[in-house]
Structure formats: structure tokens, C-alpha cells
Amino acid sequence: MIEPSKVLKESRVTEKATNLTANLNQYTFEVFPDATRTQVKQAVEQVFKVDVAKVNVLNVKPRVRPDRMRRNRAGRVSGMKKAIVTLKEGSSIEMI
């Protein structure tokens, strides 16, 4: 069995993620770069005690954008791997 601490980093709480949670019963997590769909599914089921219907995984590429604190010199926003987990009907996760 895998350790959930080796798969899940944190939950993403953004406006879009909150909208997905309210309307489609989907939750967004930042995961480690070498995590697979099945590992994410097992980790969410183990940590939150819910039934997972589907997992979508996407890599967010790093990008360059102006850094306002350094007079608009180029700064870098790091990339990450993100998982959008769809739960089965009747399941939900309590986010604090």
C-alpha cells in the first residue's frame, strides 16, 4: 500500500476549484510529479474515506511573468502536477 503523504501535497482552494466542488462534486489537489491516477485515487480514498469515481491528472507548465517587487523583471512561477478527483454520488469531503 502507498503512503498518502507520498502522493498528495495539498488541496487547491481557488475560485475555479470551489465552483467545481459546489456544482460537480469535484475536488482539486496538488500531487507529487511521479504520482499516477491509481495512486491518487487510493490516497484520496484512504485519507478522506470516500468513494472516487474518476481522476483527471494534468501537468501545469512553469511560466515566466513580471515580478512587480523587482521592477517588472522576469520572475518564474513554478510548475506542478494537479489532480481533479470526481467523487461518487453521496460522497463529499469536508474542507476547512
Other C-beta atoms closer than 10 Å to the C-beta of 37 total 15
Residue range 51-64: mean pLDDT, rounded: 96
Residue 23 lies in domain: 4-87
CATH number at 48 reads: 3.30.70.330
pLDDT recorded at residue 65: 86
Phi, psi of 18, deg, nearest 5: -65, -40
Residue range 88-96: mean pLDDT, rounded: 88
DSSP state of 16: H
The DSSP annotation for 77-91 comes to: EPPEEEEEEEEPTT-
Which tens digits make up the pLDDT trace of 11-25? 999 999 999 999 999
User: Sorting pLDDT into bands at 50, 70 and 90, what band is 96?
Assistant: low
pTM score of the predicted model: 0.85
Say if 55 falls within a structural domain.
Answer: yes
